[in-house]
Amino acid sequence: MENQSESIAVRKHGAQTRMTGGQLMPVAADHYMEDVRARYSAGWWVDGNDGTGFAAKGDSGAIVVDDARQVVGIVVAVEHADAGAAAFVHGIKQVFAALQIALP
């Protein structure tokens, strides 16, 4: 996803909102969650299609894929937990690196 200037169509199947689609904004972002004292880096914001929201509270951990079904990342935070708005997606490469997982 390097050097992307247009949004990328993605989708996920979450425990709370089931299958949703959205547009990943290919601009690297950080997100700080004060209530859990966590900072997520190397991720992207995803807005839901049709104004319905991409994720809601309970969708954390859902895998996000692109149109080619390539894993892009994992949902780790939601902008408005009760409204089901934009989701913060942590890049899968960073997740694997943190877990010391190497794929062949």
pLDDT in tens, 54-91: 998 899 999 999 999 999 999 988 876 555 578 989 88
Domain boundaries, the chain: 8-98
Query: In terms of Cα–Cα distance, which of 2, 76, 82 is closest to 46?
Result: 76
The type of residue at 28 is: A
Highest mean pLDDT out of 26-30, 37-41, 80-84, 87-91: 87-91
Give me the residue label for tokens 């708005």: 85
Let me know: does 43 contact 76? Beta carbons within 8 Å.
Answer: yes
Question: In the CATH scheme, what is the homologous superfamily, with its name and number, of domain 8-98?
Answer: Trypsin-like serine proteases (2.40.10.10)
